[in-house]
Amino acid sequence: MPKNYRAELVGVLGSPVAENPTGAMQEAAFAALGLNWRYLTIEVKPEDLGRAIEGVRAMGFAGLNLTIPHKVAVIPYLDALSREAEMIGAVNTVRRDGERLIGENTDGRGFLRALKEDAGLDPAGKTVVLLGAGGAARAIATELILAGVSKLTVVNRSDLRGRELVHDLQSRTGAAIEFVPWPEPCYTVTADADVLVNATSVGLYPAVEAMPQVDLHTAGKHLIVCDAVFNPAETMLLNHAKAFGLRTLDGLSMLVYQGVIGFEIWTGRKAPEKVMKEALSRELS
């Protein structure tokens, strides 16, 4: 019987995208399971996104990841959205269903899984402070609301963007969410907060000495401080939290679980989580 040399194709579209490490993680997973799949890291300018999606359809890609600046812009080019993606208003993962391309969002689910499995915290009934109002914040906030948090406070420097996020999520979910403009010189985390999440890009490589301006002096000892920044895994914020004796959750866990969920959506196989985390850790070390 002749050998089949045809590989299943997936990949990430973004601009810039050269430093995105997802491919190393997914390729390691494919190799571990002996799958003839390839993950391509593809630079696509905003003005070329429509043609790129046409190409993805024509070449029979099994799926995609989307990163900046395509997570919202891709939606008109897709055939349908999952419930989460529709509520979030952004797509970071696409799966093929026959001839149709279906938009998903694994950002929030990746964070939620990391919070439950790596930090051992079920957010139901908890009080959460979320820093930021961008795409990552939107996805994380949506999943936290669906998970049943009792109180969600969004803190953002742009008053307009923060209020727009809160209004949008309230209209989509019916949840009660509070917006607080980021005060100067810093935001003080109160003792009733159970979880603090940095969903901004502050602290991301190469600006590794930066951290969100928060005051943890009045925080309760039960607080878990989470950072969506994955490069570096040990951010200044997490080091600051550890100095107060607080538990932390790094962005590496969130990124791995995003990848795990995407792998399973595309292949229908259980992802080799340990292999994927080790591969990503090597890339970011």
CA–CA distance from 133 to each of 18, 155, 172, 199 (Å)? 25, 8, 16, 8
Burial of 278 (0-12, 13-18, 19+ CB in 10 A): middle
CA–CA distance from 167 to each of 152, 157, 162, 183, 216 (Å)? 13, 16, 9, 20, 28
- Helix crossing, 273-284 with 22-32: angle to 10°? 140
Under DSSP, is residue 23 helix (H, G, I), strand (E, B) or coil? helix
The architecture that CATH gives domain 8-105+254-284 is: 3-Layer(aba) Sandwich (3.40)
> What pLDDT, on the 0 to 100 scale, is given for residue 160?
93
What is the arrangement of strands in the sheet containing 195-198, beginning at the earlier edge strand? 177-181, 151-156, 127-131, 195-198, 224-227, 247-249
Distance, in Å, from the CA atom of 164 to the CA atom of 179, rounded to the nearest integer, reads 10
Report the CATH number of the 108-249 domain: 3.40.50.720
Residue 225: partners with Cβ closer than 8 Å, 6 or more residues away? 196, 198, 216, 237, 238, 241, 246, 247, 248, 249
> What pLDDT, on the 0 to 100 scale, is given for residue 271?
98
* Domain 8-105+254-284 shares a fold with domain 108-249: yes
> What pLDDT, on the 0 to 100 scale, is given for residue 173?
83
Distance, in Å, from the CA atom of 87 to the CA atom of 211, rounded to the nearest integer, reads 29
Distance, in Å, from the CA atom of 98 to the CA atom of 28, rounded to the nearest integer, reads 26
Question: Is the CB of residue 23 less than 8 Å from the CB of residue 39?
Answer: yes
71 is catalytic: yes
Domain boundary assignment for the chain: 8-105+254-284, 108-249
CA atoms within 13 A on the CB side of 69: 5
> What pLDDT, on the 0 to 100 scale, is given for residue 231?
85
Q: Which of 3, 71, 221, 277 is catalytic?
A: 71
Residue 242: partners with Cβ closer than 8 Å, 6 or more residues away? 248
Q: What is the pLDDT along the chain (285 residues), one digit of tens a residue?
A: 677 888 999 999 999 888 889 999 999 999 999 999 999 999 999 999 999 999 999 999 999 999 888 998 999 999 999 988 998 888 999 999 999 999 999 999 999 999 999 999 999 999 999 999 988 899 999 999 999 999 999 999 999 999 999 999 898 888 889 999 999 999 999 999 999 999 998 998 888 999 999 999 999 999 999 999 988 889 999 999 999 999 999 999 999 999 999 999 999 999 999 999 999 999 887
> What pLDDT, on the 0 to 100 scale, is given for residue 20?
87
Question: Is the CB of residue 123 less than 8 Å from the CB of residue 144?
Answer: yes
Side chain identity at 73, as an amino acid letter?
A
